[in-house]
Amino acid sequence: MFTGIIEATGKIVELTQKQGDLAIRIQSNNLDMKDVKLGDSIATNGVCLTVVAKHSDGFSADLSNETISLTGFAHYKKGQTVNLEKAMQPLSRLGGHLVSGHVDGIATVESISPNARATEYWLSTNSDLMKYIPYKGSVCIDGISLTVNEVEQNRFKLTIVPHTAEQTTIAEFQVGTQVNLEVDQIARYLERLIKGAEQPSRSDISMSLLAQAGFIK
């Protein structure tokens, strides 16, 4: 599990074909690897990767075809900068929101405009994912926990403060950039609760109960 609060950035220094899928090596001078063990998870642009080798300046991981097909790794190149976050510890602060590192799909940057010291980004994605992105809800973009400030049909707006831009790869985004998108887990679980299990079963959960609890309006 992750929080979406980026710890460091790194660069892809190796990205090679390996028996039908990909192997990757990430180099970072700012990510503390002292407490990382083989088999640990590191979110790389929001994608949960398993460490298969440790290096003094980073780590290596394997990318399955499933991961490649759903994420930006399908078009990443050697030298690309990525956001990095180690898996959270039970006693650490939850500064963002609960992020699994299981990317749901891709969003595309549609426009970028300044607003005082902040920068506003409009991104679009498909309708199947937009239904999980509410106004003032949380969304994870390339591993960064962000607040949705406006929603219109199949697109949403993010307002990025200078600190976030300085500490992540967001400043490198351009119109047309495709980013990894993970929606809020609560939204997905809530939909499942409303729809119920595939097999009919009695449940005390009703639409009125969810409304009383503030989950729906």
Following DSSP, what letter does each residue of 23-42 receive, concatenated? Answer: EEEEE-SSS--TT--TT-EE
For residues 118 and 141, give the distance between their C-alpha atoms in angstroms, rounded to a whole number. Answer: 17
Contact, 58 vs 27, CB < 8 A? Answer: yes
Could you identify the residue written with the tokens 């090596």?
25
Contact, 179 vs 103, CB < 8 A? Answer: no
**How many CB atoms neighbour CB 101 within 10 A?**
21
Q: What is the pLDDT along the chain (217 residues), one digit of tens a residue?
A: 898 999 999 999 999 988 889 999 999 999 999 999 999 999 999 999 999 999 989 999 999 999 999 999 999 999 999 999 999 877 666 777 888 999 999 999 999 999 999 999 999 999 999 999 999 999 999 999 999 999 999 999 999 999 999 999 999 999 999 999 999 888 888 877 887 755 555 556 667 766 776 667 6
